[in-house]
Structure 1
Amino acid sequence: MLATSFTGTLSERHGNAVERIPTPQRLVDWLAVSGLSVDSCTTAQLDLARELREAIHAAATAAAIQDALPAPAVQVINDYSAQGRAAAILTPEGKRRWRLSSASGVEDALSVIAADAISIIAGERDGKLALCASPTCRAAFFDTSQSRTRKWCDMNTCGNRQKKARFNANQRKIPRSAE
């Protein structure tokens, strides 16, 4: 999901945090990979993106644990959603693509991400919000697995790290035979 992937641009929030959009160009790159291509981004627009990211993270986390949504986060998400002028267009292949206005591409892209967050948090999608089981991550992710029992935001990172730690801990418990 676009919105929860966006919150993942800051990972390991409860450990050694890793900022994955440290520069305006990295945000441009992330948006392009996500189907929201923009020509450029300023430092001020990067700050706006981070503000939205943290609001989505706060609201998604609250929704995942079935807590009250934080009013400031809801306001930020709503404001960003309302500000954009993005349009959904249908490609000849029958896919949806976003058309952003040239005047404020980053703001339009952020409005698409905010609208996606609203759809997810409001429960309009088939799936459920959950929190990563990794104690250093705790990222909100959207679980669309059939059983809705996914534990990690990403099996290739958090899941593998947790499984490796559990394996290593079990190896230390196995008594070594005396030689």
Structure 2
Amino acid sequence: MRTGFPDFRLGSVLATSFTGTLSERHGDAVERIPTPQRLVDWLAVYGLAVDSCTADQLDLARELRESIHAAATAAAIQDPLPASAVQVINDFSARGRAAAVLTPEGDRQWRLSSAACVEDALSVIAADAISIIAGERDGQLALCASPTCRAAFFDTSQSRTRKWCDMNTCGNRQKKARFNAKQRKDPRSAK
């Protein structure tokens, strides 16, 4: 990874991990794909290697990201899906020329068009978003309990009661805040 940029918050669900490239949406927002090359890096981590990315393609990626976030948030709180977000997701899904292929190890891998273009990679992300928002996969959309984050994430825990988009960041931050508040209230408890 390139230094000087915030780390990626990697997850196992492509679409919600993509929305996580903008974190702390209700606090001091952290943009994790600030440059076209950084989007290339993120896509490569998820097996969607592209040759290059332009500033216009980065803008398209951010449009898709925000549409997925809006639709996933609505789905998580059981509100109607925003029509504009649905349209953007559908348009991106239909644009690409990516194909799912089976590897010799029995895994699914995405093959992008010969140009390995950003639009193909974005179509895969849009299709993944459709799959989770439509409820086709085992799990449910939820919102991070952190008041500064509120990221949509896909909860696949057995009880479907996960509270944090990422336990190592938002969850840990909240646990620390509770601990510090308890220490201020009763300084003797540190002993």
The TM-score, its normalising length taken from structure 2, stands at: 0.91
**Post-superposition offset of 1:170:** 0.6
Unmatched segments (≥5 aa) in structure 1: none
Q: Residue type matched to 1:109 in 2? A: A
Establish whether residue 165 from structure 1 lines up as the match of residue 177 from structure 2: yes
Query: Equivalent residue for 2:132?
Result: 120
**Post-superposition offset of 1:38:** 0.5
Q: Residue type matched to 2:158 in 1? A: Q
Which of 138, 146, 156 matches 1:144? Answer: 156
Which of 166-175 and 155-164 deviates more?
166-175
Which of 59-68 and 102-111 deviates more?
102-111
Partner-residue secondary structure (3-state), 1:130: strand
Same amino acid, percent of matched pairs:
89
Kept in 1: contact 2:51–2:115 (CA 8 A)? no
Unmatched segments (≥5 aa) in structure 2: 1-12
**Post-superposition offset of 1:140:** 0.2
Establish whether residue 31 from structure 1 lines up as the match of residue 31 from structure 2: no
CA distance in 2, matches of 1:88, 1:110: 14
Partner-residue secondary structure (3-state), 2:101: strand
Once the two structures are superposed, residues 90-120 of structure 1 have per-residue CA deviations (whole angstroms, 9 ceiling, x without a partner) of 1111111000013361000000000000000
**Post-superposition offset of 1:76:** 0.1
Which of 53, 63, 73 matches 1:41? Answer: 53
Kept in 1: contact 2:19–2:69 (CA 8 A)? yes
CA distance in 1, matches of 2:72, 2:186: 40
Partner-residue secondary structure (3-state), 1:56: helix
CA distance in 2, matches of 1:79, 1:175: 56
Query: Equivalent residue for 1:21?
Result: 33
Which of 100, 104, 108 matches 1:92? Answer: 104
Q: Residue type matched to 1:57 in 2? A: H
Q: Segments of 4+ in structure 1 off by > 6 A?
A: none
CA distance in 2, matches of 1:19, 1:164: 24
Kept in 1: contact 2:143–2:165 (CA 8 A)? yes
CA distance in 1, matches of 2:114, 2:37: 17
CA distance in 1, matches of 2:140, 2:184: 37
Which of 7-16 and 104-113 deviates more?
104-113
Kept in 1: contact 2:51–2:116 (CA 8 A)? no
CA distance in 1, matches of 2:125, 2:71: 13
Partner-residue secondary structure (3-state), 1:124: coil
Query: Equivalent residue for 2:20?
Result: 8
CA distance in 1, matches of 2:102, 2:113: 16
Q: Residue type matched to 1:22 in 2? A: P
Which of 100-109 and 43-52 deviates more?
100-109
Query: Equivalent residue for 2:84?
Result: 72
Cα RMSD (Å) = 1.1
Q: Residue type matched to 2:178 in 1? A: R
CA distance in 2, matches of 1:175, 1:62: 42
